[in-house]
Amino acid sequence: MRAAYDAGARYARERKVFGKALADYQLTLAKLGLLGASLRACQEMTYHVAELMDQGKGQMEASLVKLYACRAAENLTREALQIHGGMGYSEETPVSRYFVDARVLSIFEGAEETLALKVVARELLTNAAPRQA
């Protein structure tokens, strides 16, 4: 994800559109800011889950982070590809490969639906407090 973010930011500084760098447009800056926040959130959640796993806990949390991070990776690489425009779709650009690689994350090592149903939902239901009448 970080490589896709960096590639998008770098290209936005280099690419000129209507006489200005793409990075000089507010929409591009806002996009990069939101993507950066998403990237940082994924990093922090991963660090937290790693601490839980070191303590022998965090199975459900790890699944939650995988669900979130896979979606975030798809969104981030899609937006990096969008910043590159038609050039990003070209197979010669690394961002094109990042996009393909991000898509497969939510399929390998447990599809999103399997994680959501079998791990996360089951754990949440098991640990849900019973309703008070």
State the catalytic residues.
109
Start-end of H helices in 1-133: 2-14, 26-54, 59-84, 86-89, 94-105, 112-114, 122-127
Write the DSSP symbol of residue 109: T
Q: From residue 96, how far is each of 47, 75, 78, 81, 91 by CA, in Å?
A: 28, 13, 9, 7, 6
